[in-house]
Structure 1
Amino acid sequence: MNNFDYFKPKGIEAARELIVSIPNAAFVAGGTNLIDLWKYNLTNPSALIDLNHTGNNITVQEIDSGVRLSAFATNASTAYHPLIENRYPLLAKAILAGASGQIRNMATNGGNLLQRTRCYYFYDPDSPCNKRNPGSGCPAIDGYNRMHAILGTSKHCIAVFPSDMCVALAALDARVNIAGQKSSRCVPFTDFHRLPEDTPELDNTLGHGEIITSIDLPHKGFASNYSYLKIRDRNSYAFALVSVATGLELEGSIIKDARIALGGVAHKPWRIREAEDFLREKQATEKTFESAAAIILSGAQGFKFNKFKIELAKRAIVRNAAMALNPSIQKPGAQPS
């Protein structure tokens, strides 16, 4: 690791001034992904600007439009907060499916949104990678691509976004609050992350000098009918092959509202509103969910080693929707009726 300067600004404005004035500086909060990138020599910041004392550190607070999550609070404190457990259990379950307990104790909510892909070619500094070195190529397309994307890909990149938390935030219609150099802005969560297209080096729409300050959740949390399903190679500390966040609002057996978001399949959490519109006023049956899954996976493209993900994702959507009909079966030790 290179030598670096360290700054501990007392406010958002001071932090923004530092990042703009110091070449190759980086923000740090939990640092769980930054340290990984640093150890692999993928980043070498000249200075670290600590964000932990710059803003509102209240983990969760109620606001007129719903609930606000501090970007500087840890994943663990968010997942275990009573308000999140009771009103947004889908989010709590998704957070606890990610990483390990030790990492969740350090990783922040804002940092979770900004983590980089875990593509093996991206992490290998000796391999070409358009995300790391634009124009150098994407060896994953013709290489070993079992973990890679099947939706929203481009000829420049087929990497996936690794977050579990963000899949639930996409399903919940969250909004990201961003402080900028001239003004603040609020971005719908589904517009925050980007598809690779011709600029795979850009993961999201955050500009230089901008800071995520908080994340807003609307009142509707789907607390009665929800499920998060993560399919992975081992039961702990592994990234998803496919993950699904599902929230349903039911009136008897009729679906009044539905949210479905996928992880592990694209450069961003994948949500297709056409499928959710299709589900409204339909019977909550396996056949209905199979039809919705077909809409969501329409246009999916598999590569040599990940074609199985298309069928896996369809089955995961149907299975997770069935689990959302009876969330009690998801509790430890519970058995399906």
Structure 2
Amino acid sequence: MIPFALHTAASPEEALGRLADEPGAALLAGGTTLVDLMKLEVLRPSAVIDISRIGLDAIERTPRGWRIGALARNRDVAAHPRIAADLPLLSQAILQGASGALRTMATVGGNLLQRTRCGYFRDRTAACNKRSPGAGCAALDGVNRGHAVLGVSDACIATHPGDLAVALAALDARVTLRSRDGERTVAFTDFNLVPGNTPERETVMMPSEMVTAVEVPDLGYARRSLYRKVRDRASYQFALVSCAVALDVEEGVVRAARIALGGVGTKPWRAREAERSLVGRFADAHAFGDAAARALAGARPRPDNAFKVAMAERVLARCLLDLREMAL
């Protein structure tokens, strides 16, 4: 690990001031991703700003839904009884991510900003456009079984690793960003960027900004929701395919649907065409199979990960069927 300066911020204002004044600085919350990448020298910040003592950890019910502070621990969000009742897919997604020890340390904001688990990104001897723009992408013709099939480009096929982020994408969440110059709110589906020709830029955040909160609107039918994750082993493993689904069904007909996929996209993947295809149709296996096919229609698999297309379609169709049973 290369030398760096360490600062402990006492307030959001102090943290933002240091971030603006020290180009190349990084924010440290739980440290479950940043420290690993610094040890590998994949990330080499000139300074680290510890923000673990600045508050921003409240979990609050608001007139419009939920506001979750960026420094709220994943464990506390998942265990909150009203979130588990109102937004079960959110609680389920967190509990299926990482390990109990990591969920105790990891924060919501840090989780949203975690970097890809692509082995080539983490190997400084390998070609990676995300780490070194213009270097090439070793994953294109390398070991890419776990890589993305949606939102890919000729520059990058790295998969977004998150679980919580997939649930937030399905729930129409919004991310609050703050800098020394003010605050702005971004729809979560616009927060992450597909790689295109600039895979090194993963979110819409500016270098001087930090995540301060996530807002989740009050979707009544989100009480009937589900997060499902398919992986190589039952614990502490990233998704091959995951889906976050909420379904509003009345008298057997779909009135609204929210669908997002994980493990298959370069960002948490909102399947809007699949959602639209379900509205007004009977909630049956035919409609769900059609929606699942639409969700994967734009897939661009490589030989090693082509299986993800059929797997994702089946997992999504099964989730929708299970939610229909909950509605009966």
Q: How does 1:1-337 map to 2 (within 5 A)?
A: 1-58=1-58, 60-220=59-219, 222-326=221-325
Instruction: Render the CA deviation track for 1:2-36: whole Å, top value 9, x for unaligned.
Output: 33322222222211111122242210000100011
Q: Distance in 2 between matches of 1:276 and 1:155?
A: 28
Q: Distance in 2 between matches of 1:7 and 1:76?
A: 26
Q: Distance in 2 between matches of 1:100 and 1:114?
A: 18
Following superposition, the deviation at residue 225 of structure 1 comes to: 2.2
| Cα distance change on mapping 1:327 and 1:119 into 2, 3 Å | farther
Instruction: Render the CA deviation track for 1:257-307: whole Å, top value 9, x for unaligned.
Output: 101100011111111222211111111111101111111111211101001
Please say if residues 162 and 262 of structure 2, whose CA atoms lie closer than 8 Å, have aligned partners that are also in contact. Answer: yes
Instruction: Render the CA deviation track for 1:193-252: whole Å, top value 9, x for unaligned.
Output: 000001000111110110110000101153442111101111111000110001001113
Root-mean-square deviation (CA, aligned residues, Å) is: 1.5
Q: Percent identical across equivalent pairs?
A: 46
Q: Distance in 1 between matches of 2:55 and 2:98?
A: 25
Q: Distance in 2 between matches of 1:298 and 1:288?
A: 15
More helix by share: 2
Please say if residues 10 and 54 of structure 1, whose CA atoms lie closer than 8 Å, have aligned partners that are also in contact. Answer: yes
Following superposition, the deviation at residue 53 of structure 1 comes to: 2.4
Q: Name the aligned partner's letter for residue 140 of structure 1.
A: A
Q: Distance in 1 between matches of 2:149 and 2:284?
A: 26
Q: Distance in 2 between matches of 1:92 and 1:246?
A: 13
Please say if residues 90 and 245 of structure 1, whose CA atoms lie closer than 8 Å, have aligned partners that are also in contact. Answer: yes
Secondary structure of the 1:187 match is strand
Secondary structure of the 2:68 match is strand
Residue 333 of structure 1 corresponds to which residue in structure 2? none
Q: Distance in 2 between matches of 1:327 and 1:272?
A: 22
Instruction: Render the CA deviation track for 1:90-127: whole Å, top value 9, x for unaligned.
Output: 10001101000000000000001100000011011100
Q: Which runs of 5+ in 1 are unaligned?
A: 329-337
Q: Name the aligned partner's letter for residue 215 of structure 1.
A: V
Residue 335 of structure 1 corresponds to which residue in structure 2? none
Secondary structure of the 1:19 match is helix
| TM superposition score normalised by structure 2 | 0.97
| TM superposition score normalised by structure 1 | 0.94
Please say if residues 170 and 259 of structure 2, whose CA atoms lie closer than 8 Å, have aligned partners that are also in contact. Answer: yes
Please say if residues 246 and 321 of structure 1, whose CA atoms lie closer than 8 Å, have aligned partners that are also in contact. Answer: yes
Q: Distance in 2 between matches of 1:225 and 1:20?
A: 43
Q: Name the aligned partner's letter for residue 318 of structure 2.
A: R
Q: Distance in 1 between matches of 2:323 and 2:163?
A: 17
Please say if residues 225 and 325 of structure 1, whose CA atoms lie closer than 8 Å, have aligned partners that are also in contact. Answer: no
Q: Which runs of 5+ in 2 are unaligned?
A: none
Q: Distance in 2 between matches of 1:327 and 1:84?
A: 18
Instruction: Render the CA deviation track for 1:55-88: whole Å, top value 9, x for unaligned.
Output: 4322x10122111001001100000011211111
Secondary structure of the 2:221 match is coil
Q: Name the aligned partner's letter for residue 152 of structure 1.
A: G
